[in-house]
Structure 1
Amino acid sequence: MPPAPAIAVADLVVDRGKKPVLKSVSTEIAPGTVTGLLGPSGSGKTTFIRAVVGTQKVKGGTVTVLGEPAGAKPLRGRVAYVTQDASIYRDLSVKANVAYFAALYGRDRHEAMRAIERVGMGDHADKLAGNLSGGQKTRTSLACALVIEPEVLVLDEPTVGLDPVIREELWDQFRALAAGGATLLVSSHVMDEADRCDRLLLLREGQFIADDTPAALRESTGTANLEAAFLHLIRELEGAR
């Protein structure tokens, strides 16, 4: 019997004003996997992510995380969310930022330093966050999330605008976390990151046009790469209208 999904979304509907943002989307995400949420800007990726972490007002449907309603109190300390803009205090050092988040969840300074080392920021631990590069700020935000050792880690476009070497290092971290049992949901609009995922959710105009493994998507569309697969699905969808 397969394990219960770490994240289960059923018939999720979100409107902004009178405009639908998510149109009755459903999916299940298995534990210990990396799921990529891909789609162009404005497709609803951030709205979907906010619904998963429980910060989005929804019109209909259900979102369940680790067996609890999204955002429920028992999920605090079990689910971490890394926003698109680094959620750190610019006037504090890297070490102080991570130690602050550690203290909120009953972790100590040793655990904070361990999280800093995990993201390759050990040599920058005493630097002010405001003086960091974009990639360093992203890694500091990730350390603030990792210090609680989350069972579910949700990341909203964590690699946007980053140097390819830093992107590679971050994806190595994501794969290592999944290998350790964590469940990751990672949004992106960069198609070359798709092959790093166990499963892909392709979102367009508030609807999933695919929910499958990278290999299965290439096979079902008869394409050599995932960008071509995505384009094939879009053209197929538009042709059906």
Structure 2
Amino acid sequence: MAVSVEISHVQKQFRKHIVLQDISLTVEKGKIFGMIGPSGCGKTTLIKVMVGMLKADQGQVTVLGEPVPQFDLIEKIGYMAQSDALYTDLTGNENLQFFAKLYHLSKKQRAEKIAYAAEVVQLKDDLKRKVQDYSGGMKRRLSLAIALIQNPEILILDEPTVGIDPALKKMIWMELERLRDKEQKTIFITTHVMDEAEKCDELALMREGKILTQGTPKKLKTAFDADNFDDVFLKAGGYQA
């Protein structure tokens, strides 16, 4: 089994508040791994530790065989944050060009990758508009395009489909599944949406900084005697489904 991400006994706190409590999990190469949990449970903090934006107080994180943080990993990870980090006074195309240049792509490669990413998120007709004129959903789509642009080995996506309409959400998931199946990309995704959770190969349920349980969608529904993931989540958290 090839492993893309290995997290071992990670703990993180801010002042006296423990945000991550003894987190351990393994993400296999070529799989979609989903992390679900309520707002404030620690999902985004865990992602920031994974990409090296935050340093764990305890424990170890390895991504693509390298300990985190590691400068060489930057070009191998496509990261989409929960909050859009965009240059709003630039156009969509200028944003994509800027990030493409950071990854040392040739002019031809930049043109190809920008066309591909814009097509996936359906922004090709809006690339000449300034980002300050984009809707919230369009900004999310541009952020996802930026994460895709350098052909990363692993995608780490923090709630990528928030504010995106159902038709485009379906198209994005089709592309994520293609990247997994055809290109053996590893995808780590956080979501609140239970129907998205069922599309993942494996899931971890998180609450109050702890992993409550993890496994395949089928195994989790069987383990909690549940017909859907709303009930799995409630039962795993000790609530009456």
Length-normalised TM-score, structure 2:
0.92
Letter in 2 for 1:40: P
CA distance in 1 between partners of 2:32 and 2:205 (Å): 14
**Corresponding residue number in structure 1 for 2:18:** 20
Q: Could you tell me which of 130, 153, 156 is aligned with 1:154?
A: 156
Contact 1:151 1:182 in 2 (8 A): yes
Report the counterpart of residue 116 of structure 2 in structure 1.
114
> 1:208 matched to which residue of 2?
211
Matched, 1:78 2:81: no
Residue correspondence of structure 1 range 189-228 to structure 2 within 5 A: 189-228=192-231
User: 2: distance between equivalents of 1:153 and 1:18?
Assistant: 32
Within 5 Å, which residues of 2 pair with 1:156-175? 156-175=158-177
Which one of 65, 87, 111 corresponds to residue 67 of structure 1?
Answer: 65
Q: What's the CA shift string for 1:153-188, capped at 9, x where partnerless? A: 111111223322232222222222222211111111
Question: Is the CA contact 1:84–1:156 (under 8 Å) kept in the aligned structure 2?
Answer: yes
Note if contact 2:42-2:208 (Cα within 8 Å) is conserved in structure 1.
yes
Q: Does 1:124 align with 2:126?
A: yes
Residue identity matched to 2:55: K
Matching residue's letter, 1:81: Y
Q: For 2:86 and 2:184, locate their aligned partners in 1 and report how far apart those are by CA, in whole Å.
A: 26
User: Aligned-residue CA RMSD in angstroms?
Assistant: 1.5
Give the secondary-structure state (helix, strand or coil) at the position aligned to 1:11.
strand
SS state at 2:94 partner:
helix
CA distance in 1, matches of 2:121, 2:164: 15
Residues in 1 aligned to 2:8 and 2:20: alpha-carbon distance in whole angstroms: 12
CA distance in 1, matches of 2:189, 2:125: 27
Name 1:135's counterpart in structure 2.
137
Q: Secondary structure at the match of 2:161?
A: coil
* Ranges in structure 2 where 5+ consecutive residues have no aligned partner: none
Note the C-alpha offset of 1:120.
2.0
Asked if 1:49 corresponds to 2:47, the answer is yes
State the one-letter code of the partner of 1:153.
L
Task: Give the structure 2 partner of residue 176 of structure 1.
Answer: 178
Query: Which SS does the other structure have where 1:173 is aligned?
Result: helix
Cα shift at 1:192: 2.3
SS at match of 2:237: helix
User: % of aligned pairs identical?
Assistant: 37
TM-score of the two chains, using structure 1 as the length reference: 0.92
Residues of 2 paired with 1:118 and 1:213: CA distance? 27
Equivalence for 2:38:
40
Preserved contact between residue 95 and residue 113 of structure 1 (Cα < 8 Å): no
Code of the residue aligned with 2:86 in structure 1: it is: I
Alpha-carbon distance in structure 1 between the residues aligned to 2:12 and 2:62: 16
1:85-111 Cα shifts (integer Å, max 9, x gaps): 222211111111111111111113313
